[in-house]
Amino acid sequence: MKLGFSRSLPIVLGYAPVAFAFGVLATQQGMPIWLATATSVLMFAGSGQFITISLWFAGAGYISTALAVFVTNLRYVLMAVALAPHVRSLKGLSRFIYGWQITDELFAVHITAFQQGWKLNRTAIFSATTLAQASWVLGTLVGGLCGSVVTDVKPLGLDYAISAMFLALLIPQCTDRLHTITAVLAAFFSVALHLAGLHQWNVVLATILAATMGTLLARRAKPGEAA
């Protein structure tokens, strides 16, 4: 339990304010508080949930909304493939719940731990995922209740919480020179592409470019040289 708490703490601190913002926006767009909270319980996917309220406000149909969320969350298939070899001992309902609670941030925490030789600990992984989701659900509920009071979430600066959280998750992954170089390249490409006018694609393209260059550098490096 203690290990799971320590692993999820940066995520909890990042999720709560963003979930609060989601709850506020959802209720301001006309979504009932119970439904906004239910999406955090059942969907638990930040980008998918923000897309849902955007399409809700636009009057989109259920099928188009579901399709948009499905396409947005296709990345979880790749995450599941990467995690599968490490969680083979999970069966049935346990594996389903673990897969359902995985997010970008929890994936980063767990895959890093597994790659560093950490053995599967059910108490640790489920306490981490449950605490993270609990913070997201509670933040959504509180935000929904405050929706009529908070008219604009931008002055609160809540959007910075997610950036701070990703930085807290990135630093432990820079365990050697290769990973550090790849992270720096990703940041450089993202800023450069944003300045070039690719505001919607800078992160995606920067990730692809940095990952490609990181792979090429790893292949060229001699054994032991990347460390």
d(CA 21, CA 173): 28
Residue 226: per-residue pLDDT = 46
In 39-82, which ranges are E strands? none
The confidence score (pLDDT) of residue 169 equals: 67
At which residue do the structure tokens 């709560």 appear?
Answer: 16
Of 212, 166, 219, 216, the C-alpha closest to 189 is 212
Q: Are 158 and 21 in contact (CB under 8 A)?
A: yes
CA dihedral 37→127→13→96, nearest 10 degrees, is -50
Instruction: Kindly report, residue by residue over 146-172, the tens digit of the pLDDT.
Output: 887 877 767 666 666 667 666 766 777
Scanning the structure block, which residue is given the tokens 């489920």? 126
Cα separation, 106 vs 125, whole angstroms: 9
Tally Cβ neighbours within 10 Å of residue 120: 14
Please identify every stretch of the chain with a pLDDT value under 50, giving residue numbers as ranges.
Answer: 225-227
- How far apart CA 104 and CA 76 sit, in angstroms, is 8
Polymer length in residues for the chain = 227
**By the 8 A CB rule, do 10 and 132 touch?**
no
